[in-house]
Structure 1
Amino acid sequence: MNRLLSGFMHILDTERLALREFTPQDAPFLLRLVNEPGWLRNINDPGVRSVDDALAWAQGRLFKAYRELGHGFWALQRREDGVLVGMCGLFKRPALPEPDLGYALLAEHEGRGYALEAAHACVAHARSALGWRTLMAITAIDNPRSTGLLAKLGFIEQGQEMLEGYNEPSRVFRLVL
């Protein structure tokens, strides 16, 4: 059961991370995250250049999904010190037939297993809390780290597609839960 903690909805905990909804106070963090070289190379450039832009992006991309779908991309916060390290969550993109798993970390927190830990918890949440039977995921064509992570979770590549909202084809993956 979700609980409200300090003004945000807590979603779940892993060994090292708490996953919670983003709040307007997280706009400076989101500004950093969506302008990371890895985000720009492997996801897209959302054109977020200021804290106000980040807040507007969060309202349209994150907060709206929480209200309308009851899920979305959640803040990854280290339990030991409360530091935000990235995002991970479940999202229904118009371009995909089923909900998908997505994640991104600040570069300084990559390589520590946070993405795998959070993604594993999100897959379990999709199965047990949401009752979903399948999940999808997409990556950039040349993103071996994400491809490896998805393979560890059991996702199977479905091929490449040109998805609405992207300038290049994406690799599409599917997982039966």
Structure 2
Amino acid sequence: MTENIVTERLILKPVSVVDAEFIYQLYNSPRFIEFIGDKNIRSVADAEEYIKNRFLPQIEKLGYGNYVITQKDDGKKFGSVGVFEREGLDVPDIGFSLLPDYEGKGYGFEAASALLDKAFKEFGLKKISAITSDPNLSSRKLIEKLGLTYKKKVQLPNDHEELRYYEI
């Protein structure tokens, strides 16, 4: 299992089954469902299965994956950030989501910047991509602030929506 990433205000911890209740809450927040999609997580048990079947295998295989973002001062979980191998993309993809009360405070940039740095320096990645929908302006701004450049529109397998594709 990969190690924690520590920033000025945050600790990024590799997701584990103990985070099931938080993942359930985050993945059912209205903005997550609107901009990322409904992952059909209807209970804490569903979240635990999602973690076991989706997140842990990638962490075990590649040494990186999804991280839960916590505040350093009180340990409160409020978001996630990760680098993922995603079907339909040739380049690993960075993704992030925060509970609504934590948006607009620079946490997303702080967490994603730290993960990008680690991805290039320690995970050995040469390129990272990001995808987002046209209407998700806050995500688009964060992706561009992180230094990724818009390249093209893409459509992922089994998804009808065209997404904006960025790369760094």
Give TM-score, length-normalised by structure 2.
0.95
Q: Secondary structure at the match of 1:125?
A: helix
Gapped regions of structure 1 (runs ≥ 5): 1-7
State the Cα distance separating 1:19 from its structure 2 match: 0.8
| Alignment coverage as a number of residue pairs | 168
| Residues 1:53 and 2:46 are matched in the alignment | yes
Q: Judging changes above 3 Å, is the alpha-carbon distance between structure 1 residues 81 and 9 closer, same or farther for their aligned structure 2 residues?
A: farther
Provide the C-alpha distance between the structure 2 equivalents of 1:84 and 1:166, rounded to a whole number of angstroms.
29
Residues 2, 63 of structure 2: 8 Å contact kept: no
**Aligned position for 1:156:** 149
1:76 counterpart residue number:
69
Alpha-carbon distance, 1:25 to partner: 1.6
Q: Does the CA-based 8 Å contact 2:88-2:157 persist in structure 1?
A: yes
**TM-score, length basis structure 1:** 0.90
**Partner residue, 2:162:** 169
Aligned residue type for 2:40: G
Match of 1:26 in 2: 19
Give 2:34's aligned residue. 41
Aligned residue among 5, 10, 22 for 1:12:
5
Take 1:71 and 1:63, find their aligned partners in 2: how far apart are those partners?
9
Counterpart in 2 of 1:108? 101
**Which of 114, 119, 122 lines up with 1:126 in the alignment?**
119
The worse-fitting range, judged by mean Cα deviation, of 163-172 and 64-73 is 163-172
The letter for the 2-side match of 1:36 is S
Residue 4 of structure 1 corresponds to none
Q: Quick check: which one's strand share is greater?
A: 1
1:141 aligns with 2:131: no
Q: Aligned with 2:40: secondary structure?
A: coil
Query: 1:5 maps to what in 2?
Result: none
Are residues 81 and 10 of structure 1, via their aligned partners in 2, closer, same or farther at CA, if it must alter by over 3 Å?
Answer: farther
Q: Answer 1 or 2: higher relative contact order, Cα 8 Å, separation at least 6.
A: 2
